[in-house]
């Protein structure tokens, strides 16, 4: 696991975009796993900018989103499909038929979840999965107690996640209680993972997930078992990491000596 403590949210977003750009240059038909939420907004803006100004090409890219609220239609302004359209997909040249966001209005949830897993396999698996982290340690909507081997399925959200998400809804009662989400096991099968976290509110859980024990009580701690994870946090998000000085030193040395090794586990 490589941990980068960036100076700012902007630098965090740029570094993540650098990794995606390198991946797309290496493999234009990459399969990207994508997250919603506040954290990746700057990263998506950076990808959109690079597409517009530098021609970063998404025409062959295939995407899979982590999760979607149950019973919100793709056109609902708080649905994750709507978020993705308005933060990324509408502004890049991704082929709409290559976009996958769990369909929250499905009648056959179990069948849909099995199909989603099969689709990921059919296209050869996810090359890079981008993640945020919830204040309770969730990745996707794998709330505390989710099996570290879990697959795509329906999950009940915790009170904390519902409260955290209430800021996006007019009325807290409207916040969905259920979501379709990739499982921890699904996420761990991605070939490479980028975890982004920013702000003081995430500092405690980031430290627990990265430097604490691996436990189903903190789903993100399962990332410690993955062979190629890059964590990029801003200074506030990384402020409670015990080994922050070491992570900063590694990053500076790589920048100074071999910048191409940034984002490579070595």
Whether 170 is catalytic: no
**Which residue has 């490479």 as its token pair?**
192
Binding mask 72-111 for ligand F6R (x = CB under 6 A): --------x-------------------------------
Size of residue set near ligand F6R by CB under 6 A: 14
Residue 66 sits in the site that holds ligand F6R (CB under 6 A): yes
**Which residue has 């499982």 as its token pair?**
183
Residue whose CB is less far from ligand F6R, 37 or 238? 37
Q: How far is the CB of 176 from ligand F6R (least distance, A)?
A: 13
Q: Which of 13, 23, 39, 129 binds ligand F6R (CB under 6 A)?
A: 39
Burial 209-239 (b: 16+ CB within 10 A, else e): bbeeeeebebbbbbbeebeebbbbbbbbbbb
- The answer to whether the CB of 56 falls within 8 A of the CB of 47 is yes
Structure tokens at 174: 């409207």
Of the candidates 2, 117, 143, 192, the residue annotated as catalytic is 143
- Partnered with residue 64 across adjacent β-strands are 33, 100
| Residue whose Cβ sits closest to ligand F6R | 132
- The answer to whether the CB of 206 falls within 8 A of the CB of 238 is yes
Phi, psi of 98, rounded to the nearest 5 degrees = -95, 5
Residue 236 sits in the site that holds ligand F6R (CB under 6 A): no
Q: Which of 67, 117, 192, 234 binds ligand F6R (CB under 6 A)?
A: 67
Beta carbons within 10 angstroms of residue 66's beta carbon: 27
Whether 10 is catalytic: no
Whether 105 is catalytic: no
Structure tokens at 157: 């959200």
Residue 179 sits in the site that holds ligand F6R (CB under 6 A): no
Structure tokens at 52: 């517009």
Whether 67 is catalytic: yes
Residues 126-145, interacting with ligand F6R (CB under 6 A) = 132-134, 138-140
Q: Which is nearest to 142 in space by CA: 45, 69, 81, 67?
A: 67
Q: How far is the CB of 137 from ligand F6R (least distance, A)?
A: 10
Interface with ligand F6R (CB under 6 A): 35-39, 66-67, 80, 132-134, 138-140
Name the residues annotated as catalytic. 67, 136, 138, 143
């Amino acid at each position: 696991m490589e941990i980068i403590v960036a100076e700012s949210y902007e630098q965090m977003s740029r570094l993540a975009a650098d990794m995606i750009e390198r991946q797309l240059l290496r493999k234009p038909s990459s399969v990207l796993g994508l997250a919603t939420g506040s954290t990746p907004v700057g990263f998506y803006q950076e990808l959109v900018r690079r597409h517009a100004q530098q021609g970063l090409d998404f025409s062959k890219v295939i995407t899979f989103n982590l999760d979607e609220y149950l019973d919100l239609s793709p056109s609902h302004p708080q649905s994750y499909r709507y978020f993705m359209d308005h933060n990324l997909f509408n502004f890049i040249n991704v082929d709409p038929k290559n976009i996958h966001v769990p369909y929250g209005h499905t009648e056959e949830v179990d069948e849909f979840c099995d199909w989603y897993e099969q689709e990921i396999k059919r296209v050869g698996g996810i090359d890079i999965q981008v993640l945020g982290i919830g204040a309770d340690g969730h990745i996707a909507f794998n709330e505390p107690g989710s099996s570290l081997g879990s697959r795509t399925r329906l999950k009940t959200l915790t009170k904390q996640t519902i409260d955290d998400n209430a800021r996006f809804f007019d009325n807290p009662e409207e916040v969905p209680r259920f979501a379709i989400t990739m499982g921890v096991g699904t996420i761990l099968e991605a070939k490479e993972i980028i975890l982004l976290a920013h702000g003081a509110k995430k500092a405690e859980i980031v430290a627990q997930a990265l430097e604490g024990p691996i436990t189903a009580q903190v789903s993100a701690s399962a990332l410690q078992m993955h062979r190629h994870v890059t964590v990029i946090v801003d200074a506030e998000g990384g402020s409670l990491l015990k080994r922050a000085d070491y992570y900063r030193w590694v990053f500076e040395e790589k920048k100074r000596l071999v910048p191409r090794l940034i984002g490579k586990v070595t």
